[in-house]
Amino acid sequence: QSALTQPRSVSGSPGQSVTISCTGTSGDVGSNNYVSWYQQHPGKAPKLIIYDVNKRPSGVPDRFSGSKSGNTASLTISGLQAEDEADYYCCSYAVTYVVFGGGTTLTVL
C-alpha cells in the first residue's frame, strides 16, 4: 500500500500548460484503468477532475486531460488560469485497497 509518486510542486504562467506525473506499480496504476485525479483548494474537500484515466466529469473544463502509460499516469492542465492554483492528487484502485499520490502543489505564477 505504498503511496503513488508525484512531484511535490509544479508551476506555470497563465496560459501555459503543465503536466503532473503519477508513478505507481504493476499492482495499482499499471493493472487497471481506474486512475482518477482530484483538485483540492485550501480548507476544501477534494474535487474529482479526471476519472478512468482520461474521462472528465460534467462541468470540468476540457483544459484538464489525463493519460496513462504503463505504471505512470499524467494530468495535463492547459491554458493555466489563476483558479487552477491548488493541490492535485492522483488515485488508483488496487482491488483490495485504494492508493493516493503524495500530492502536487500547482502554483500559477
Partner 1 sequence: EVQLVESGGGLVQPGGSLRLSCVASGFTFSTYAINWVRQAPGEGLEWVSAISGGGETTYYADSVNGRCTISRDNSKNTVYLQMNSLRAEDTAVYFCARWISNYDYWGQGTLVTVSS
> CA geometry: angle at 85 spanning 84 and 89, to 5°?
85
User: Taking CB under 8 A as the rule, does residue 51 contact partner 1?
Assistant: yes
Task: Give dist(CA 61, CA 51) in Å, integer.
Answer: 14
**C-alpha span between 75 and 61 (Å, rounded):** 13
Window 55-74: contact mask with partner 1 (x via CB under 8 A): --x-----------------
**Residue 75 interacting with partner 1 (CB under 8 A):** no
Residues that bind partner 1 (CB under 8 A): 1, 3, 34, 36, 38, 40, 45-48, 51-52, 57, 87, 89, 91, 93, 96-103
